[in-house]
Chain A
């Protein structure tokens, strides 16, 4: 049971990714009480899984570290991980919220010494690396995890393996009897910053994701490029762990497509351009081909597009690839399509194909949701007639980090206004 004192002057921020962290910090640094809740066992959200940001090619952990530091020294913010909203009632200025906490099986005594992981022999799919590798069932979610505390997978909680971990811990940090619990809090305003999920690429069946091992998604490539990822930072073909000699990026894999996501996901062009630079830096011999409909590099991001275009080993072809087939023997992939500039048929082989999949918003998924408006795609619209709950970041529109942070900063002010109106 969490001990948290809140009033209708408090702000609840749902989602501890870049948008949620920002909204929470901006409000707290202006003097408001904030409770931040996050579903994962760590804060940071999707950006923690990125290797670098475009266009600066800098590590997301750098900015996160500053934010965590802001959080550490600010008593106005309280945060809960493994926490989700179970219910919201009331209206602007006076919400009653029920928060559900999932058991971590590790308490605040954890010193992060790693003894539990040392003795644990059970392995699970590593969710942080999109299941591309295994991790011990007693684990630190990732090396920059904040808070820095281990987690036990529920699958071993009631087993002998769990007991082994319990016995290995010198600090009494493992609590196998932990159960899911709920607690209530009050809030005057709610910022909904629950972020996004990658589009499920297997839905586009003609690209063979899930069937052909060497068809991967952009979020997976991001983990591969990261030194803490499943391949130690090497971009390798999943089928044989070999370096690819030519890589294709397929833009709009699901986005701008009325069969899947009719909207443009906003970030995938730049993400692929960025990932092209990862490939080119690691493997100077590797050719990259980017298949696109339109390259959408807004404002000064155009410079980054220009930079990648200057690379002789990178080819841009305006085409929506229509089909992928695999050569079972070599694992290489045959792409079919039309080069719309020349009208010629594309029949090209690649060692690795990266699907630039888009964003699907995480909606308010509770039985009695507050009175908010979503657009037809599930993004919150922040209807001015319905103040009190404010979407921020990718809950509102598919967008990049800087815009999410801007938006979250604005959402913090909206939340403060809701409280000021009381």
Chain B
């Protein structure tokens, strides 16, 4: 017998409750403009529209294990074009965050990048261009870490030549306390970004 999807609204309800902007997916009319405009479309297993359809049909595993939700680069193209003003990007980030919270790490690297990015910004008020990749890459283990670092050496040198990356550790920005207050507030307001 062929596969049959059983519609189950409980997952949709879970998404509405827990995922930032999750409720907005109700407005989707399946036009596909998000998928059509996504620069990472070819990397995705399900385009955003289909993610929304899957949520509504209750396919929890497919959605939370989808690598699509981890791939969004925040280019805003889908958000700008969506005829129903759905913040597609926020939903994708929200889903990724929720998946990670559930312990699902489809793209570990993406997840650790997100987590480290947030940590650094929270700690320093800025990103340390050498510390962030180091932490991310070595989260995969020592050998993988060295391999990845070597692969990015060229970029690292060029960044240094353009003074985009310092040899010394970055210092905290002025007024880091106020910045942290802002971030705390933001985290409280939303249902969270891609923080591990």
CB neighbours (8 Å) of B80 from chain A are 259
- 18 residue pairs bridging A and B, Cβ less than 8 Å apart: A252-B83, A259-B80, A259-B83, A319-B36, A320-B31, A320-B33, A322-B34, A322-B35, A322-B36, A322-B37, A338-B41, A338-B49, A340-B31, A340-B35, A343-B46, A345-B36, A345-B41, A346-B36
Given A323-B37, A336-B37, are A343 and B47 neighbors across the interface (CB < 8 Å)? yes
B83, A256: Cβ atoms under 8 Å?
Answer: yes
CB neighbours (8 Å) of A363 from chain B are none
Which A-chain residue is minimally distant from B48 (CB atoms)?
A338
Interface residues of B (CB under 8 A from A): 29-37, 41-42, 46-47, 49-50, 80-81, 83-85
A294 to B32, CA, bound (A): 12
A323, B30: Cβ atoms under 8 Å?
Answer: no
CB neighbours (8 Å) of B42 from chain A are 345
Given A258-B85, A345-B41, are A293 and B36 neighbors across the interface (CB < 8 Å)? no
Q: Which of these, A256, A258, A320, contacts B32 with CB under 8 Å?
A: A320
Which A-chain residue is minimally distant from B31 (CB atoms)?
A320
Shortest Cβ gap from B48 to chain A (Å): 9
B50, A321: Cβ atoms under 8 Å?
Answer: no
B84, A258: Cβ atoms under 8 Å?
Answer: yes
Number of residues from A at the complex interface, CB < 8 A? 22
CB neighbours (8 Å) of B35 from chain A are 322, 337-338, 340, 343, 345
CB neighbours (8 Å) of B36 from chain A are 319-323, 336-338, 345-346
A206 to B36, CA, bound (A): 12
State the main secondary structure of chain A at its contact with B.
loop
A206 to B33, CA, bound (A): 11
Task: Give A278-298 as 1s and 0s: 1 = Cβ < 8 Å from B's Cβ atoms.
Answer: 000000000000000110000
A323 to B31, CA, bound (A): 13
CB neighbours (8 Å) of B33 from chain A are 320-322, 337-338
CB neighbours (8 Å) of B31 from chain A are 252, 293, 319-320, 340
Q: Max chain B CB contacts within 10 Å: which of A252, A321, A339, A340?
A: A340
Task: Give A309-324 as 1s and 0s: 1 = Cβ < 8 Å from B's Cβ atoms.
Answer: 0000000001111110
Shortest Cβ gap from A266 to chain B (Å): 16
CB neighbours (8 Å) of A294 from chain B are 29
